[in-house]
Amino acid sequence: MNVGDEQTVSLWMDTDVLLKAPALRRNEKADTVVIGSGIAGLSTAYELAERGHDVVVLDRGAIAKGMTSRTTAHLTSLSDDSFDALIKMRDLEGAKIFYQSHSAAIDRIETIQRDRSIACNFRRVDGYLFPALGHDASELDPELDAGRKIGVEMEDARGLPFRGLSDTRCLRYLNQGTFHPLRYLRGVAAAIQNHGGRIYANTTVEKVEEDEDGVTVSTAGGKSVRAKFAVVATNSPIIDRLTIHTKQAPYRTYAMAFTIPRGTIGDALYWDTLDEYHYVRLQPGPGTTDYLIVGGADHKTGEADDAPARFDEIEAWIGQLIPDLGREVHRWSGQILDPIDYAAFIGLNPGNDRIYIATGDSGQGMTHGVIASILLSDLIVKGENPWSEFYDPSRKIPSGIKNFIVENATVLKNFAEYIAPGELASVKELKPGQGAIIRDGLRKIAAYRDDKGKLHKCSAVCTHVGCHIHWNSLERCWDCPCHGSQFAIDGTVLNGPAIAPLEKL
C-alpha cells in the first residue's frame, strides 16, 4: 500500500479533515504552550481555552497527523492489560480510578461533540470480550470477578455475530464508544481558535526551558513561545532522556480496513483474549456499506520487520469469523507506548514545576489523551485533581519491577548490535525501495535506495540516547527499538523522543 517513499495511510487520513495551520514565524506569548497536536494536546488546549487561558499549540508536522491519526479509535473504559492484572499491579482502588477516569473521558468526548455540533460519527456501543479461537471460556472468569469488584457496567453473556461463535460465552461491557478521531479533532481545533488560541504546524521544538516565572519553548526556526506553563503531549516526551522512557516501552500495532455490507455484524467493539489481542470495530461508510476495522499482531518497535506476515495473520483471523468480508481498502501501522504498571504518565514532568507531560497511552490513546486534558487543565488552573496521584509521572513502581527489567533489557541488547556485522556487505547490494544497516569500518550506516535509485545514507545512531536504529519496510522509515523514535529516509525526525535528525553521511 506504500506509494513511492511514503508511509501507509489510515482510513482516517484518507479524508481531507486535517486543519490547515501556518508555521510559527514570530515570537509568541501565552498562558500555556502545548507541544503536540494529537488528541492529548488539542484536548488539553481546548479545556484550558474553555477556562479562559490564552493557548498556543505547536506541532513538528501537520495538525493531528501523528499517532492519533493511526489509531483504530476504540473508546473504552476497560484496561488494555485486563482489570485482573491491573488490580494486582495497582490495587483495587487504583483500578477503580482507572475505570472512572476512562469512563469520564468517553463522557467528555460525547459532551464536546454534542455541544460543538462536531460531525464525527460518535456513538455509544457495547464492547465484547470473547475467548481467543480454540481457548476455553474459563479465561473470562478472572476478568468477570475483577470487573464486579470495580463496579464495571458489564454482563456475563453468550453469543457473538461471528461464524461459529453464536453460542460462545463472552463478557458484554456497556456504555463504550467510538468515533472518527480526525473529524472530532478538527472540531476541537476550530473551537480552540474561536477562543483566541493559536495553532502552528510544521514547527519543530528544540528546547523547553523552565525558570521561576515560566517556560520558554525554542523552535528550529529561531522563534520562541514564552508562557507560564508548558504541556508536552508529543506521544513520547521530547524533554526527557531516561526517567520516563525507562518506565514505558514502544510497541508497533497493525490495522486493516475492509468494506462490509451494513448489518453484517452489530455496531460494537470486539476483543479476544490473546496476549497480543485482536480488536474489531465498525465505521460508517458510503450508502449501505460499512468499514470493518480489525487490528492486532503487535510486537516491540524495531524488533520485527515482517509486516506482510502480520497483515496476513490478521486477515486470516477475521476471515474465519466473517467469511463474506469485502475488499481491503486500507492497511496501516501505529505505535503505542506501554507503561510498565498499566497506566499513563500524566502530570508534572519529574524535576519540573511548570512543565507537564502526557504519555504512556498503553493502546488506549483516545481515552488516555482526554484524561490528560481533564487532569492537566485542573492541575494548571486549580492545582489539584482526584486522579493526579494515580497518573503521577513521578510515582514509584515497585510492583512493576519485573516489567521494568524485561522492557529495559532491550536497550542493553540494542547497544550490542554495534559490534555485529551489517545486514548487507555494501550499499551496492541495495535494491530500489530497500533499506538496510551496513557496516562502514567502525561505524554503522542506515542506507536506503529510493524507487528512483537515489541513495540516502545516515548514521545508524539514534539522536535520543544513541541506540541502534532498524529499518521499517512497511512505513519506509527508521525505528529506534529503545524508546520509539522514528526517522524519515533523509534522517528527519518523524516521532519523538528524538529531537535532532539523524546525521547525514
How far apart, in whole angstroms, are the C-alpha atoms of residue 176 and residue 107? Answer: 10
Predicted confidence at residue 441, as pLDDT, reads 84
Burial class (CB in 10 A: 0-12, 13-18, 19+), 325: middle
Q: Which residues contact 316 (CB under 8 A, 6 or more apart)?
A: none
For residues 495 and 484, the answer to whether their CB atoms sit within 8 Å is: yes
Per-residue pLDDT reduced to its tens digit, 6-37: 689 999 986 666 678 999 999 999 999 999 99
Predicted confidence at residue 408, as pLDDT, reads 57
Per-residue pLDDT band for 428 (boundaries 50, 70, 90) equals confident
How far apart, in whole angstroms, are the C-alpha atoms of residue 266 and residue 353? Answer: 48
Q: Which residues contact 21 (CB under 8 A, 6 or more apart)?
A: 59, 63, 199, 200, 201
Average pLDDT of the residues in 389-413: 72
Task: Report the share of the chain in percent with pLDDT over 90.
Answer: 80
Q: What is the DSSP string of 196-247?
A: T-EEE-S--EEEEEE-SS-EEEEETTS-EEEEEEEEE-SSS-SS-SSTTGGG
Distance set, CA 461 to CA 193, 226, 269, 371, 433 (Å): 39, 32, 40, 35, 21
Predicted confidence at residue 400, as pLDDT, reads 55
Per-residue pLDDT reduced to its tens digit, 134-188: 999 999 999 999 999 999 999 999 999 999 999 999 999 999 999 999 999 999 9
Per-residue pLDDT reduced to its tens digit, 344-380: 999 999 999 999 999 998 889 999 999 999 999 999 9
- What is the chain's mean pLDDT, rounded? 92
Predicted confidence at residue 417, as pLDDT, reads 66
The more confident residue out of 7 and 403 is 7
Predicted confidence at residue 20, as pLDDT, reads 85
279 pLDDT higher than 60: yes
Predicted confidence at residue 411, as pLDDT, reads 63
Predicted confidence at residue 1, as pLDDT, reads 33
* DSSP state for residue 16 in the 8-state scheme: S
